[in-house]
Structure 1
């Protein structure tokens, strides 16, 4: 009953405010747009308050409306607190490598990056071939400001069904596996040894071609299949025996 009540109340409020929905393009004082938000209410599950105060962040449509020089990028979204900070012992001893297959919403990606950026990590972006020239250009400028951010030159035609997502992930894995970047893990939570194995020992071309023939969920089978194959016996992999005996789990990592 309480859930239904919240849903009805939320619906009525949202309908009343539908014409007033705020889409914020970047401006020099844009962070002031949400400085008065009550985060405690949002994280406490006040769905009505969250819906009534949501802000959609929109990328400026004109190039000159979003400063993309390194100084502006490095000081936006609180990034200045992190991009040149001294790393902790834990961060230095356990660097990570992140792969992102992206299509749009540059500012959202910049904010997300600021939340977990550290100089010890690597960040690789593969851009959908359908993305706008402006979006691609902004990502390239971002990468020029940080030595550990890479935008892959090769682009792929990504679909909502997952087509070519695996190919894009492999592209970043190949880039991140180069000797000068021999540290960290990939965003799929694969061991470094596993990444080296699939990039240096396996030819996945035929498998990727077969997976791309599926209608949906194309990107949800590659890593799982490689990880559990007892025949491959990949370093840092798992086993297919759980599946054989009917034991399943939605997530697992090693």
Structure 2
């Protein structure tokens, strides 16, 4: 099913549309220990900014996957001279085309909320090795979120569920993640930074309108919606 907000991100080619942007990504990964022999999966890679950073910083084996063909095209463009090379796949996070126990590390930045959350978490647990770990950045809502605002969030972003922090933790446990840590960051959403863009030609005006609606929505409702960074392990 088409998602106008994800189409917007693809057409604008926003490198780090997730909360906190690329600076948050860098700070989160700063303390990670990923070995060159390890396999890494970037789920919902977008234009590939994070995947390129992972490959450059850790010299590891990175596979990047995204469902949107325009994002895949822009990621391939970014990676064409990358060393070490990065494998790019057009695919669905709910039905990953990898064997069980394929990856040592996975990252998903504001991706899982746009999918069937439980199916995607199950798939990520499946393709991670038993000793694997995962970092996800995801939208959370506060317990006092009004019902009408919940519906507005779902309509604006084309998502089926909006979860509270404890609901995310519960879903992660249900998927098989036994150890879940919270990485400390500012927890409130802020308007996305447009510092890394690869804009398509002839973008329709409705996408500019949607970006402005998104921006204003975050400014007006930041006290009801935020994000969390979860670090998850399959074994303790």
Structures share fold, TM-score greater than 0.5? no
More helix by share: 1
Q: Which has the higher contact order (CA 8 A, sep 6+)?
A: 2
- Bigger radius of gyration: 1
Give the TM-score of the pair, scaled to structure 1: 0.29
Give the TM-score of the pair, scaled to structure 2: 0.31
